[in-house]
Structure 1
Amino acid sequence: MSDLLKKQFDAVAQSYDLQRRPLIPCFDDFYSTATAWVNVDKNSPRILDIGAGTGLFSAYVQQKYPEAQLTLIDISEEMLKGARTRFGEDPNVQYISGDFATYCFDGQPYDAVISSLAIHHLTHEDKSRLFHTIHTLLTDGGIFVNADQVAGTSDYFDKRYKEQWEHTISQSELSNEVIVSAIERRKLDRNATIEDQLNWLYEAGFAEADCIYKYNEFAVFFAQK
């Protein structure tokens, strides 16, 4: 993952959570759907959050599984500082400062891997490679829930999605500086189509995979090993 991307997220870390809701027009449905599909048959599941940022998705999952053992990895230590503030001294939450695309995970397998708005920053080749890694990290029957951005089926839809998103955030309470910064960050996006991502998930070895929610370029994927 690029140094430029890391610098951009370091810069917005302190205000990231406050900005996220107005920057995601479908925020409530997006995260509630993703959280609803994190279902495991354990009271204390081992869960890995890839590109965890300030730990928002993990916090939703923790509300559902209060005894979950959470591991959060992110390339931005500044973002992880937000997660450390969010979870305090919780002994069930661990942190890894590193690039999830290249990090060598070890130890026991995870019951679930989750991610939100992170994997789309990778090249398509790295996305496919990461899906293979995630498959190997999961227990048999383990699940992967990815709430992320996707490309449209054509340039026409990508253009329409961008126009609608920019119009929506321009009507929000966000300052012009924040809006300009968000638009600039999105120039680094490398969105992939739903079809390609489902193909990569099946190629990685997942037995089941589908896009279970979509609103313009925001989508939630579910896959089971």
Structure 2
Amino acid sequence: MSYAPSTAAGKQTAQQLADISRTLYERGWMPGTSGNISLRLPDDPGRALITASGRDKGELTAGDVVEVDALTGLASPPGQDRPSAETAIHAAVYRVTGARAVIHVHSPYATVVAHRATATDAVTSVRVERFELLKGLGLNDPTSTDLPVFPNWPEVDRIADDVAGHLAACREGPPGLLLGDHGITTWGDSLGQAKNRLECLEALCRLLVLSQSELHVSRA
């Protein structure tokens, strides 16, 4: 069942998700049905809208979203379309960081770094330092950061547990993470901020790849 907002805020939020999905699709960061985006409802931040599973992101409409509990990822009203398979990861980010928007895409350079730096059995991290673009991430120390890379377990709930545990233990980390062989997830206080941080992290990953230097990877 397509999403039918009961408030003006819900309608506006759904349209924001549709608009940014098309923008990121046109960049080649959400090919086909890949990727997912969520945003807390401004009139009820305990709930969020997230893109429905299996939707072409280049043709997403305001009706192609699902309302969920922001902290658990469970669908709120019954009878809705199925939410993104990675809703649990969004909920983990919301619970720990207090963010209001989460974006997950398959942007090419971040995905390459995730592929090179992933481990099959543990969270790793990629050292990023000195690049001016680090200032776009809102870090307390903008000279360097360790970008976490999580194993892409078949069980999404297991990934979500890893993410929640890591973010709770590393409060000073960047507002983003990589999934091994998969892509990148970022977050912020608004969709605009999450998108800006996504752009910075993708650009930083591009610089790491183009520098052709060996990635500084460590186990978290």
Give the TM-score taking structure 1 as reference length.
Answer: 0.31
Higher helix share: 1
Give the TM-score taking structure 2 as reference length.
Answer: 0.32
